[in-house]
Structure 1
């Protein structure tokens, strides 16, 4: 016999159980206390140290009025209904989550499993995903609840992967949502500098108290920033700023470790003490302005040698028919010898022959262009067969755009399929340029 409606008209009735022979060997002990009354008792000090004088030994965690975790009345009645019927009357995500918390508190494992099954079968929304991420649960059903949390994270990361599009909406997200989205490597952003700026802006808006804001930034938010892919100019600002929001010792140590890793990658790969969070620091997101490595010299002539790695998947997007495809990849802006320069890789189409090829160009930004800038530059690519960089283009020239539209001298289809150029799926490029002459306007 299942529970019938109560005389009050709300919720199931359990009167059938008290005279039923099948329940004669059970003791049902309930302590239902109104939330307001319970809070008054705690405030008045009648429950010192969060203990109820009526609780017996062994009952910890099972009394409904425990000050450590109040249970929603509706969820509790649903839990009782499940105990006697094996069914729940609601599939509303918020209530199911309350029932899950009640079942977790009273260690009703079958109900916890049933709630997790129902929740994972429901279509996710932003609201429900954020609720799941903020759900406190014991270790009784860690695997089932973890699957729910993973699904919620994947939903948010996929829906909000375009940072530029959703950055204003993300300002209203709670901390758990920010952590889930910004821990993703698939996040699409112009440059990692924007992530650092957003974290500061979000924390200042959500945590007005300096000490709390500083703690949240240091322990929860800044570890999500990929400092290894930030521009040199912004890294320098971070190292020299005197803002009280951040723990400068912690950030400076993090940046120093990253720079050492980039300078001596072979030693870092052999370090077994490197944890997952540290490894994540070096994973590239999907950047519109892609970072590069460089070595700069001031004399006898200003010279810069840059190394730029492009994935095959990134290059494939140049030749895509999709509306949101990327027609080009642009490097970080470089500042050297009074010049602002950057590299551009793209699919070049010859308008006469209609042939598509891989093009690589060096640009001097208009704001810093001099009347006469003469550069000697060389572009090279590493090959798998020779295991070294092979020069592809070398010239001395003037202008604000220098480069080659047919870098490899082969059609696009041949280039993109060439495993001798894409070593383990990565194209390794080198650009070496020297400023021979520059004169003021």
Structure 2
């Protein structure tokens, strides 16, 4: 190994050796800190930490403990000592102005037996003269030094950070000695990271320690280690605290893909935990922004209607951002895209237009877009939803609404009238058997609230199950309201509605009227594969209401 010093790191990424080094299964653990397989000396200067800067995993037995430690350190994280090499090309954060190995009598001969990692305590002069790089740590002192024998090809193959350091063409990149300064809180994680770059494995298994290594790997751009830590953390039991922590881990743009599976798993966990929107409302109100976004991005959210999603988002934003300017910014830039305005009721959309919490231009754009979607024919709505199903934009995708969205057309003349369109998917009808029911969103006529409900029930002779449709009025008590009504359905792909049942009724509050067997056939015939009532797997229903004079 006498010629190891002739390796050129600038070509390591293109060599056959680099292909083997970068392989996921390569194990060069035998070469770690071994002078016989090394061409550089890495001097790690460990700086004094303030008490609040102790290792995140120190004394932590759970993710929640780690998160609390991390929160206290958040401001210090922003002052990390490692800078982008491209931002400071002239003076490396790794101090490379040490003499060449041949001139360093204390460093030993690389041809001699491997030496153990040495720890040194710097002299006063050395500590005092250690400020010649492009960064400094005010009020920090070097408390000890670790010296490692390293292989620049191995480190360069695993880390763009080290690759740039060893191959930037500068005089310093050819020096044998490099010096790296870190906080004491980073020491254990960095040693695990360096060992991983040789052996592709870690000795730590606890979640807090893995998170420390993950942060170090992000800092030094070791994507393979980030993926490794991410995989181990994904396989551990998740909690709301850990899921939120994973979503808020600071990672660089280049390294973000390495932890994407972990953040995706965290999002799925939160979406599943808060799937039932009617439960854990107060717990949801305490979620940070990233947690709310994860929950609202789910298609499977079981929510009464999209109106309820809008109300929750508004309530959460007011609680988290008391200043209206900040609230408008968060709603417009972050949260509005998670509210599926096209599936909100028209009455709620009108309120959006006058809501002071949204910027007027933003709310106008959202409402106009929603109304254009509502005006589309059902088949066009399905096409638009299908086109978005493969994208991150989910505005046209329906959730698992407790109250099915309806399309309402209102008339004032010659009499107050509304025509309501309700679409039910075949699988929704299947789930009604044997005695289920599904409700529509509320719609209004003459100031009164109404709804439609589809039932699977027995016919009047109780001889077979059948499909029924009913009209109900929301208001209870002494309110009376007389209407003419008509139920119709599409039974042919010609998209023409055929009247199935009509009548008139005076509501007295809390009552419902309808037909137990809308199609006059048994449930089995209604749900048959060759049934004409399902056009492309969707049942199209229409209800027409007119106020009686």
TM-score range, shorter chain: 0.7 to 0.9
1:118 positional shift: 1.6
1:389 aligns with 2:497: yes
Aligned partner of 2:465 among 356, 359, 366: 356
Normalising to structure 1: TM-score of the pair? Answer: 0.79
Question: Is the alpha carbon distance of 1:335 and 1:32 closer, same or farther for their aligned partners in structure 2, counting shifts above 3 Å?
Answer: same
* Aligned residue pairs, count: 404
1:349 positional shift: 2.6
1:163 aligns with 2:272: no
CA distance, structure 2, for counterparts of residue 80 and residue 216 of structure 1: 40
> Contact 2:466–2:523 (CA<8 Å) still a contact in 1?
yes
Moved more, 135-144 or 115-124: 135-144
> Contact 1:376–1:396 (CA<8 Å) still a contact in 2?
yes
1:274 positional shift: 8.5
The residue matched to 2:532 in structure 1 has which SS?
coil
The aligned runs of 1:4-403 (5 Å cut-off) are 20-36=34-50, 54-55=133-134, 59=165, 72-138=186-252, 142-241=256-355, 243=356, 245-264=357-376, 280-319=394-433, 327-350=436-459, 352-367=461-476, 370-371=479-480, 373-399=481-507, 400-403=511-514
1:163 positional shift: 0.7
1:201 positional shift: 1.8
1:376 positional shift: 2.4
Cα deviations by residue, 1:392-434 (Å, 9 ceiling, x for unpaired): 1122343442210111112223222354212222111011122
Question: Is the alpha carbon distance of 1:115 and 1:387 closer, same or farther for their aligned partners in structure 2, counting shifts above 3 Å?
Answer: same
CA distance, structure 2, for counterparts of residue 361 and residue 24 of structure 1: 81
Question: Is the alpha carbon distance of 1:276 and 1:124 closer, same or farther for their aligned partners in structure 2, counting shifts above 3 Å?
Answer: same
Greater Rg, structure 1 or structure 2? 2
Normalising to structure 2: TM-score of the pair? Answer: 0.65
Which protein, 1 or 2, shows the higher relative CO under an 8 Å CA cutoff with sep ≥ 6? 2
CA distance, structure 2, for counterparts of residue 107 and residue 426 of structure 1: 51
Question: Is the alpha carbon distance of 1:387 and 1:66 closer, same or farther for their aligned partners in structure 2, counting shifts above 3 Å?
Answer: farther
Q: Where does residue 546 of structure 2 map in the other structure? A: 434
Question: Is the alpha carbon distance of 1:54 and 1:279 closer, same or farther for their aligned partners in structure 2, counting shifts above 3 Å?
Answer: closer
1:224 positional shift: 1.0
> Contact 1:340–1:368 (CA<8 Å) still a contact in 2?
no
CA distance, structure 2, for counterparts of residue 338 and residue 84 of structure 1: 73
Q: Where does residue 149 of structure 2 map in the other structure? A: none
1:66 positional shift: 8.2
Cα deviations by residue, 1:282-302 (Å, 9 ceiling, x for unpaired): 211111222201111112222
> Contact 1:130–1:152 (CA<8 Å) still a contact in 2?
yes
Cα root mean square deviation, aligned: 3.7
1:92 positional shift: 2.5
CA distance, structure 2, for counterparts of residue 382 and residue 84 of structure 1: 68
1:362 positional shift: 0.9
CA distance, structure 1, for counterparts of residue 471 and residue 457 of structure 2: 14
